């Protein structure tokens, strides 16, 4: 069993295991005429490094909402094992507003206070429409960020700081606000405006930084990534400038930060990890 713990893992080994997940997504989307774009740091990596940003240990793509929903609807039949798509549509304990394509033959725990078992993954962000800049947009974003803070708090381990009175606040919050209720509020905001009807579109997970002109995305364009070809944003310069500013300049060393996953096992299926009681072992370490 190859065990990788807290930032001591070989990042290049992990990156090499993520590429086949993206190849699977690319194949499925092409077979079923679905649009996807390399996104955020993965789009930046394609342009600046022709692959991963050296310290980046995850991958991101984004899809217009309609294409995203079709993929989720058919994921069980279209995505071959060991890959799978997980999200609120098929896991009631799923704590995000976006889906992930995962390698179910692996195990990841992201943080010690967030013991959600999953496989190594590629994030899939839905792209939604949003109103032009103004008071309505600002109000919408305030509501979104408020509910997202609630989602983060709901996902944390209430025993993070110990038992007894220290856990009471988190336990009470979890009793008052269900994961389903918070996600429902967030989805209501995200689905308010259709991608097709708006000139401005948004990846809500990136909040205001994720708002771009739909024209920047255009028809997906091929980019080299780790010696392979994947689809990305047509006008990458305007998109990356919006997202990162001077995107071709490397950040200082102190900002070249990887995820530092709490626990990774590249040989253990995460369902087997749970079945063997390993997750409970981690909970006992709290």
pTM for the full model?
0.91
Among residues 83, 97, 80, 94, the alpha carbon closest in space to that of 18 is found at: 83
Cα–Cα distance measured from residue 169 to residue 174, given in angstroms and rounded to the nearest whole number: 9
Q: Judge whether 141 lies within some domain.
A: no
Structure confidence by residue, pLDDT tens digits, 22-46:
999 999 999 999 999 999 999 999 9
Q: What angle do CA 256, 94, 276 make, to 5 degrees?
A: 90
Domain contains 168 = no
Q: Which domain holds residue 122?
A: 3-129+210-284
Residue 171 forms part of a structural domain: no
Residue partners of 217: CB distance under 8 A and separation at least 6: 37, 127, 201, 233, 234, 235, 239
Count the domains in the chain.
1
In a domain, 154, yes or no: no
> What tens digit of pLDDT does each residue of 217-261 get?
999 999 999 999 999 999 999 999 999 999 999 999 998 888 788
Residue 66 lies in a domain: yes
Q: What does the alpha-carbon distance between residue 256 and residue 240 come to, in Å, rounded to a whole number?
A: 17
Residue 248 within any structural domain of the chain: yes
- Find the radius of gyration of the CA atoms of the chain: 19
Instruction: Provide CB contacts within 8 A for 137, sequence distance 6+.
Output: 130, 131
Is residue 162 pLDDT above 70, yes or no? no
């Amino acid at each position: 069993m190859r065990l990788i713990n807290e930032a001591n893992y070989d990042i290049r080994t992990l990156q090499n295991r993520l590429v086949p997940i993206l190849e699977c997504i690319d194949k499925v989307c092409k077979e079923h005429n679905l649009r996807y774009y390399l996104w955020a740091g993965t789009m930046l990596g394609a342009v600046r490094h022709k692959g991963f940003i050296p310290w980046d240990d995850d991958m991101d793509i984004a899809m217009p909402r309609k294409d995203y929903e079709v993929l989720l609807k058919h994921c069980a039949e279209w995505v071959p094992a060991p890959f799978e798509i997980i999200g609120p549509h098929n896991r009631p304990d799923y704590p995000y507003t976006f889906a992930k394509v995962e390698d179910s033959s692996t195990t990841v725990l992201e943080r010690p206070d967030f013991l959600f078992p999953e496989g190594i993954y590629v994030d899939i962000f839905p792209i939604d429409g949003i109103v032009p800049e103004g008071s309505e947009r600002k109000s919408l974003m305030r509501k979104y960020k408020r509910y997202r803070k609630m989602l983060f708090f709901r996902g944390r381990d209430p025993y993070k700081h110990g038992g007894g009175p220290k856990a009471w606040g988190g336990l009470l919050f979890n009793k008052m606000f269900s994961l389903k209720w918070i996600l429902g509020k967030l989805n209501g905001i995200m689905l308010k405006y259709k991608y097709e009807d708006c000139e401005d579109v948004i990846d809500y997970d990136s909040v205001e930084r994720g708002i771009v002109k739909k024209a920047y995305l255009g028809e997906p364009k091929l980019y080299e990534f780790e010696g392979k070809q994947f689809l990305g944003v047509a006008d990458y310069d305007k998109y990356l400038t919006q997202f990162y500013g001077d995107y071709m300049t490397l950040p200082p060393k102190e900002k070249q930060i990887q995820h530092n996953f709490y626990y990774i096992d590249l040989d253990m299926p995460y369902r087997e990890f749970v079945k063997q009681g390993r997750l409970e072992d981690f909970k006992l370490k709290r």
